[in-house]
Amino acid sequence: MTKRIASYASGVSDISLLGETIGENLERTVARHRDREALVDVAAGRRWTYSEFGAEVDRVALGLLARGIARGDRVGVWAPNCAEWVFVQYATAKIGAILVNVNPAYRAHELEYVVRQSGMRLLISAVTHRGADYRAMIAEAGVEDVIFFGEAGWHELVAAGSAADPAALRERAAELAFDDPINIQYTSGTTGFPKGATLSHHNILNNGYFVAEGLGYTEADRICLPVPLYHCFGMVLGNLGATSHGACIVLPAAGFDPEATLRAVQQERCTSLYGVPTMFIAELGLADFATFDLSSLRTGIMAGSPCPVEVMKRVVSEMNMAEVAICYGMTETSPVSTMTRRHDGLVRRTETVGRPMPHVEVKIIDPDTGLTVPRGTSGELCTRGYSVMLGYWAEADRTAEVIDAARWMRSGDLATMDADGYLNVVGRIKDLVIRGGENIYPREIEEFLYSHPDIGDVQVIGVPDQKYGEELMAWIVMRPGAEPLTAESVRRFCTGRLAHYKIPRYVHIVGGFPMTVTGKIRKVEMREAAIDLLGLHEAAATHTA
């Protein structure tokens, strides 16, 4: 009788994990590559060598020390992509403060929650972005200590750092450990409230480093980052991947702009380009796409959403990204757990999410029994290793729901593992919706819509979408006597109160929901009905890794 091989694999490597803080790693890079470019803010027309970059980070770090920021204090950053965001990321790490990433799309009540839940000591913020008045929302949320980029408070912080004794930074560095928490990233929660995934130096420095190793980065690489810095995709795979290898970070614009992205690749001779599938689709869809010189590109990352196979093939053939990789993971795992390799064949690089990362273990389990399933059998993907978060900030019970006693992190994703350890994600156990790389839990939106005076009951599901991967649809039961709502009226109710990507695109008025005999709502059945109702069969048939 042939023994069935279990769905377990570990990433082997002859390269050791980095046992240092982010500050120590940056200082080593600055010493090696002082005159190479470290950062280019294309929209602002500014650039820094590693020597200049290190000095600017130290000024911000010393300014924060002068302001009384202690090791473990939470410092929030709420802004679109800009050079100052990057300086704050490294400066907080250097002094052992915990950076709290705030989504630029948040509104006042979402900001208020993360400020309160994290115990934020200081918020560093943009003034406006894409029509959003951050100053007004900060006032509404009752945030007490705020510095605005580009205003007097920011200039005073940097000036204080310039005048401070650098010895204070060395003294603080001596107090830090690489297992210290250094970053909180909020992910939407099934109970309607975001959870603060808490990550250490060791978590994110090593993940950025090993992803960059997988892409073959050296100091000659120039990485175009149109992805948001507040995500792990930007600040870990982008920033830390670059600075751990002496490569250059190129920020094409404050927010995603497909034309600005390709223009930045062309003028800065970028060798690598990141994006969620939606971004690559937009770039390929530009009317003048063929006029851009993308010959400098070699590699990059497509991640954040299921990656359509045909889009991946076009990126390889039409964007010169022969070594592009697919990465799979989640914020709670720093984020990458599996990755395709540069020398994998086209099929594996377009139709799987790769093999486990170095020093990371992956197994596929039966969600009910917890037992590892045989290769080729679908089950829940779990991961273990240096990359698993410390936990959800101040929420031990919610942490215990996803990390077991052996430190395995349950992803909630259904996947299969083949004979060679390559993985394919086939679905999700939970009803998480991933829209254009944004993780959305329907329960959060349902809780909000329940506040509408005419809504009696509501269920939110994800439906297939060719542009974003998934879109949101609200099934609504009206209160007796109320006039039926439309998608437009629901959008008006949500606008300004929910982040734009959380607002349902489709609305379906129903008398009730399909349920099991035990009273559980059958969202899978609702999704199937929605595909027929909305005519989304083509989007549903799109092949993804």
pLDDT one-digit tens code per residue, 313-332? 899 999 999 999 999 999 99
Residue 209 lies inside a defined structural domain of this protein: no
* Torsion angle in degrees (nearest 10) through CA of 262, 266, 271, 273: -10
What letter would DSSP give residue 352?
A: S
Residue 16 pLDDT greater than 90, yes or no = yes
Question: 536 near 472, Cβ under 8 Å?
Answer: no
Question: pLDDT value at position 305?
Answer: 74
Q: Is residue 299 included in any domain, yes or no?
A: no
Could you report the per-residue pLDDT of 193-243, keeping only the tens digit for each? 789 999 999 999 999 999 999 999 999 999 999 999 999 999 999 999 999
* pLDDT 10s digits, 333-390: 999 999 999 989 988 988 899 999 999 999 999 998 999 999 999 899 999 999 999 9
Q: How confident is the model at residue 462 (pLDDT cuts 50, 70, 90)?
A: very high
User: Does residue 326 sit within a domain?
Assistant: no
User: What's the chain's length in residues?
Assistant: 545
Tell how strand 379-385 and strand 360-365 pair up.
antiparallel
Task: Extract the tokens encoding 357.
Answer: 């990362």
For the segment 478-494, the average pLDDT, to the nearest whole number, is: 93
**Host domain of residue 468:** 433-540
- How many domains would you assign to the chain? 1
The predicted model gives 92-117 an average pLDDT of 95
Positive or negative: CA dihedral 67, 70, 71, 75: negative
Q: Answer whether residue 276 is part of any domain.
A: no
User: Has residue 499 been placed in a domain?
Assistant: yes
**187 in any annotated domain:** no
Give the model's pLDDT for residue 1: 44
Look up the CATH number of the domain holding residue 448.
Answer: 3.30.300.30
Please give the pLDDT value at position 476: 95
Instruction: Assess if residue 279 is contained within a domain.
Output: no
From the number of C-beta atoms within 10 Å of its C-beta (0-12, 13-18, 19+), residue 338 rates as buried
How far, in Å, are 29, 167, 224, 338, 438 from residue 228 at the CA level? 24, 34, 12, 21, 11
pLDDT in tens, 145-163: 999 999 999 999 999 999 9
The answer to whether residues 118 and 92 touch, using CB atoms and an 8 Å cutoff, is no
- Whole-model pTM? 0.87
Task: Identify whether 483 is part of a domain.
Answer: yes
CA distances from 92 to 172, 181, 217, 263 (A): 11, 11, 25, 32
Mean pLDDT value of segment 118-122:
98
